[in-house]
Copies of this chain bind each other. A is one copy, B any other.
Amino acid sequence: MVETFPGEGFAPSSELVACIEACLGCAQSCTACADACLSEEHVGELRRCIRLNADCADVCSTTAAVLSRQTSPDLELVRAVLQACMTACAACGTECEQHAQMHEHCAVCARACRACEQACRALLAELG
């Protein structure tokens, strides 16, 4: 879809597509992980995980949308959004990793967060 844009993109389309897909995947994983945590018996121990999952899902969805637009971008805005997304993924990934041995959903979600953090970092490097 990204390659049908009738102009020049603000970044190489391979990095852009990879980052959009990582953001969408991470947003879905975080929403599902928050919900799976909510159904766990010891939900009281997963409060921080649920909270960070919710934040990370919101930030990743917004990042995917901003990156999906190539018309007349404001690169400072794009960079600030990528920075916020990296920060959200790092915080959520770190928290999920602490529950990964106990809960498969946290293990899957931690990997999605780390992949997204890395994709944002790679795209930020391209943007200079």
Binding site for B on A (CB under 8 A): 1-2, 4-7, 20, 24, 27-29, 31-36, 38-40, 43-44, 47-48, 50-52, 54-55, 57-59, 61-62, 64-66, 68-74, 76-77, 80-81, 83-84, 87-88, 91, 103-105, 108-109, 112
A38-B50, A38-B51 known; A59 vs B66 contact (CB < 8 Å): yes
B32–A68 touching, CB < 8 Å: yes
CB neighbours of A58 from chain B (8 A): 61-62, 65-66
Q: Give which listed residue, B36, B59, B109, contacts A62 with CB less than 8 A.
A: B59
Number of copies: 4
User: Chain B: which residue is nearest A44 at the CB level?
Assistant: B43
User: Chain B: which residue is nearest A8 at the CB level?
Assistant: B39
A71-B47, A105-B1 known; A91 vs B76 contact (CB < 8 Å): yes
Q: How far is the CB of A90 from chain B (nearest CB, A)?
A: 8
